[in-house]
Copies of this chain bind each other. A is one copy, B any other.
Amino acid sequence: MFKYNIGIIGGSTADEFYCNIAYKVGYLLSKNGCAVFCGGKTGVMECASHGVYDAGGFVAGFMPEYTKNGGNKYLSLVIPTGIGYLRNFLIIRASDALIAIDGKSGTTSEAAFALTEGKSVISIGNLNIDVKEGDGKLIRVKTPEEAVERAMDEAGKYTSKFGEK
Contacts and interface: CB of A to CB of B under 8 A. Distances in A.
A116 B76 contact: no
A56 interface: no
Interface residues of A, number: 56
Interface string A99-137: 000001110111111011100000000101111100100
Contact of A66 (B69, B93, B129): B93
Select the residue from A5, A75, A94 with max chain B CB neighbours within 10 A: A94
Given A65-B165, A68-B5, A164-B69, A104 B130 contact: yes
11 contacts: A1-B76, A5-B78, A69-B164, A70-B164, A104-B131, A104-B135, A105-B130, A109-B110, A109-B111, A109-B113, A126-B130
